[in-house]
Amino acid sequence: MRRKNERLPVCKSEKFILSGETPFAVREAYEAARTELLRALAADGRKIVAVTSCSPSEGKSTNCLNLAVITAETGAKVLLVDCDMRKPVIHTLLHLDNKAGLSSFLGGIENDVSRAIDRNVRPNLDVMTSGPIPPNPAELISGAGTDDLLRYAAGHYDYVFIDTPPVSAVTDAFLMNTRIAGIIIVVREGSTRHEDIRECIAGAKMSNTRVLGFIKANCAVK
Ligand SMILES: Nc1ncnc2c1ncn2[C@@H]1O[C@H](COP(=O)(O)OP(=O)(O)OP(=O)(O)O)[C@@H](O)[C@H]1O
Ligand SMILES: [Mg+2]
């Protein structure tokens, strides 16, 4: 296991990550989302879920991380992958160093996938950070390495959560369509437009990606 980077400054977004201090109602909302999601996955058989949204800053990373945390709390073995190689934040939120991760594996710098994974970041939760930001993220995602990674993840974990960039910017979430059970779309109250949601669903349909559900992120919890 790689060591946590103790030198990273505390990040203000950390307060939205599930912890012992999270209000009961918020924890309960995530538990309800987990119940719905696990039910949908049980019917599907596949266990890899990508979390995306229509536009930037709608809460993908926060919700992807929280879904991974709340699912790991059931005792299931969970892997969280930061697949946003343009604006990665998972390592910052979890205070992990990011010298090796997804880009190192997909770029062929680290051939052993297990060496690009942080073990037991929380009980039952392993994390693959983004790795150093590469010049060609789309090329890396569409390469054969992604298939190898997802096959490895499906074989070693009960559930896998993938944080992705917004679909308005790139369609990384749709490129993994054959290996994942589907996507969860995060929408932000008062900000995400109906038109954008419709476009996102249309994009999912065109790529044969199943929309597993939506998470409504709001800003009431500050
Ligand atoms: N419940 C919440 N209430 C208020 N602010 C929140 C909440 N959840 C997340 N945020 C804040 O919203 C911002 C965007 O969150 P996050 O990084 O999860 O979004 P994102 O969709 O992954 O963004 P990006 O498109 O850059 O990847 C962050 O500053 C985060 O701290
Ligand atoms: Mg993000």
pLDDT confidence tier of residue 170, bands split at 50, 70 and 90: confident
Q: Which residue has the higher pLDDT, 1 or 183?
A: 183
Q: Could you give all domains of the chain from N- to C-terminal order, each with its CATH number?
A: 45-217 (3.40.50.300)
C-beta of residue 165 within 8 angstroms of C-beta of residue 86: yes
When the pLDDT of each residue in the chain is averaged and rounded to a whole number, the result is: 90
What is the model's pTM? 0.93
In the prediction, which pLDDT does 172 show? 77
Please state the atom number of ligand 1 nearest to the C-alpha of residue 62.
18
pLDDT confidence tier of residue 220, bands split at 50, 70 and 90: very low
What residues line ligand 1, using a CB cutoff of 6 Å?
13, 16, 53, 56-62, 84, 87, 89, 166, 217, 219, 221-222
What percentage of residues in the chain have a pLDDT greater than 90? 77
Please state the atom number of ligand 1 nearest to the C-alpha of residue 53.
21
pLDDT at 167 over 80: yes
CA-closest residue to ligand 1 atom 16: 59
Mutate-to-test residue for ligand 1 from 57, 92, 184, 216, highest number of ligand atoms within 8 A of CB: 57
Residue 185: enclosing H or E segment and its boundaries?
A: strand 182-188
The mean per-residue pLDDT over the stretch 171-185 comes to 84
* Alpha helix positions (H), 57-193: 60-72, 90-93, 102-106, 137-142, 144-156, 172-175
Mutate-to-test residue for ligand 1 from 11, 16, 55, highest number of ligand atoms within 8 A of CB: 16
C-beta of residue 55 within 8 angstroms of C-beta of residue 167: no
Neighbours of ion ligand 2 (CB under 5 A): 60-61
pLDDT confidence tier of residue 222, bands split at 50, 70 and 90: very low
Rounded Cα distance between 169 and 56, Å, is: 8
In the prediction, which pLDDT does 149 show? 95
Q: How many beta carbons lie within 10 A of that of residue 114, not counting itself?
A: 12
Q: Which of 60, 77, 91 is nearest to 164 (CA)?
A: 60
